Amino acid sequence: MLTFKEFAEFCSVIEKISSTLELSSRISSFIKNLDDNDLYNVILFIMGKIYPPWDDREIGVGIGLLYEALKQATGISKREIEDLIREKADMGLAAEMIIAKKKQTTLFQEELTIAKVREIFDEMAKLSGEGSQKRKVMLLTDIFISSTPIEARYITRLILGEMRLGVGEGIIRDAIAKAWNLDANLVERAYMISNDYGKVAVVAKNQGKKGLKSMKITLHSPVKMMLAQVAENIDSAVREMGKAGVEWKFDGSRVQIHYGNGKVTIFSRRLENVTSALPEIADEIRKNVKEGVILDGEVIAVKDGKPMPFQHVLRRFRRKHDITKMVEKIPLKVYFFDIIYDGEELIDFPLKERRERLMKAVKESEILKIAEHIITSDPKEVEKIYSSALNAGHEGVMLKNPNSPYIPGKRGKHWLKLKAVMETLDLVVVGGEWGEGKRGHLLSSFELACLDDGKLVKVGKVATGFTDEDLEELTEIFKPLIEFEEGKRVIFQPKYVFEVAYQEIQKSPKYESGYALRFPRFIRLRDDKSVDEADSIERVAKLYEGQFKR
């Protein structure tokens, strides 16, 4: 049985490694001889996850509860804890120092194992209602009392979903492949249809190639969504495909809808279960869709026949209370454009055949629609559809190869998107500043970072493009994520992504990325995207170089 200390010490070693090859090799050696339960948990934990994203469970522990538990476990004052967090700018390192200073000891300290930490997390996830916060603080306090300083660092980071190891999906894929001498593509495919690398690792260990090949799409377990690349222009896109299936690109939020065994489950683009926030769509599915299917589509908000801004859809997705009022206030429609299961796995079927099956599975209604799909090789016809999409208030068009399979989680040339907006970046919000004057109670600017080998490096800050309503909403969202404050400046737990437009990218020593955005402007909160899906430093560099070719 693996102790949490052994796991934490391993994390402290790989935290210093920047080579992706060495990281996957070290992880491969570490996981190779673990038992099934430890293997499952270690894979998730090393990626900074307690549960897969589609799992409804969450432990519901924020920064405030961590502060309280550390205080109770150590007898150290809240002021001293805050000072350490401010000094370290990392709550994990601060927790390590706090536990090293702890004034209280007990004769009954229990050695923490990976299994014990999992058991406590699962117990927290079950707690709700009156007294639940108090019980969570007690459980956390017990963990910190039993933990060594290095264990406290990684327990804290794990709770915050911020391990700072630079270990992404690609490294885990390669580690599993190396550990059991398997094809990395086979490991990746198993992950794309299960969305659980812990499960994939256990199957790889026990059943090898045969087991991974036998992993199939199952209802109510989400499949990674196929993604699109940006098209340079209409002519080149049509020329490359020969014939293209053209659809409107809706300004909404992607959904994957599972209907089977009498149950409807709706997953967001981040593969989070959002069924409870969209009751009218779930009801329409039961009335108008053949049971035993997985559908791919886009939810849009509509008012007076026109699409409402994307943010309105996300407000519906985030809603936990007064859902009925929101159904009336923000009416939704869903446009389906693909089907990946109808009792048979369809991802290897060509798009044109999947479309035929989609038409048979869905009966259109006021709320449920099938996206119009026109196959053409004429750029002028594409231009006409593109103009009609923009006139209807949508983003542009999608061009799809009619013979393409559905490739989960992949961004390739089978699907191309053409939008009428300036270049934007999706960047992680890592800090901010409080405003002045009448905006003194609001966060008014935000620090942004891109991904560099799984780690976050700053690339600028944005303070324009916000309405007062945006700032009110964003302050409400980001306040619980404040790790520490110094004057007006705040540091956030990195959890959300902004889409940001800019005039140009410049080389700059001011930020650790080596780049800075000139005149950045907030476009929207992308809480349909996870931090792992933010733009990389490679994309920033590519856009920077591309400026000189215009």
The per-residue pLDDT for range 275-290, each reduced to its tens digit, is: 988 999 999 999 999 9
**Closest-CA residue to 448 (of 434, 433, 432):** 432
Contact yes or no for 347/408 (Cβ under 8 A): yes
Residues tagged active-site: 249
162 DSSP assignment: -
Q: At what angle do helices 197-214 and 169-179 cross, to 10 degrees?
A: 50
413 DSSP assignment: E
| Interatomic CA distance for residues 270 and 256, integer angstroms | 10
| Interatomic CA distance for residues 171 and 352, integer angstroms | 35
Assign residue 408 the CATH number of its domain: 3.30.470.30
Q: Which amino acid is at 455?
A: K
Would you state the pLDDT for residue 549?
A: 62
Residues 400 and 448 in one domain: no
Residues 283 and 135 in one domain: no
Q: Which residue has the tokens 């700032």?
A: 471
Residue 450 lies in a domain: yes
**Residues β-bridged to residue 458:** 449
Residue 38 lies in a domain: no
Residues 375 and 266 in one domain: yes
Residues 61 and 149 in one domain: yes
Residues 155 and 55 in one domain: yes
| Domain's final residue, options 109, 133, 160 | 160
Under the banding of pLDDT at 50, 70 and 90, the label for residue 321 is low
Q: Stretch 100-112: mean pLDDT, rounded?
A: 69
Q: Which domain holds residue 501?
A: 424-549
| Domain's final residue, options 129, 160, 191 | 160
CA angle, residues 281, 530, 152, in degrees to nearest 5 = 125
Residues 148 and 288 in one domain: no
Residues 375 and 464 in one domain: no
Helices (H), 416-467: none
Would you state the pLDDT for residue 101?
A: 81
**Greater pLDDT, 324 or 519:** 519
Under the banding of pLDDT at 50, 70 and 90, the label for residue 420 is low
Under the banding of pLDDT at 50, 70 and 90, the label for residue 89 is confident
Under the banding of pLDDT at 50, 70 and 90, the label for residue 166 is confident
Report the DSSP pairing between strands 521-525 and 497-501: antiparallel
Residues 350 and 429 in one domain: no
Would you state the pLDDT for residue 496?
A: 94
Whole-angstrom Cα Rg for the chain: 24
Assign residue 492 the CATH number of its domain: 2.40.50.140
Residue 23 lies in a domain: no
CA distances from 531 to 201, 202, 284 (A): 23, 26, 32
Residues 459 and 415 in one domain: no
Could you give the 3-state DSSP secondary structure of residue 338? Answer: strand
Question: Number of folded domains in the chain?
Answer: 3
Mean pLDDT for the chain? Answer: 91
Under the banding of pLDDT at 50, 70 and 90, the label for residue 468 is confident
Residue 72 lies in a domain: yes
| Domain's final residue, options 388, 403, 419 | 419
Residue 282 lies in a domain: yes
Residues 478 and 532 in one domain: yes
Would you state the pLDDT for residue 106?
A: 55
- For residues 151, 154, 156, 158, the Cα torsion angle rounded to the nearest 10 degrees is -140
376 DSSP assignment: E
Assign residue 96 the CATH number of its domain: 1.10.3260.10
Residues 97 and 237 in one domain: no
Residue 299 lies in a domain: yes
Residue 267 lies in a domain: yes
Residues 437 and 480 in one domain: yes
Would you state the pLDDT for residue 252?
A: 87
**Greater pLDDT, 308 or 324:** 308
Would you state the pLDDT for residue 80?
A: 85
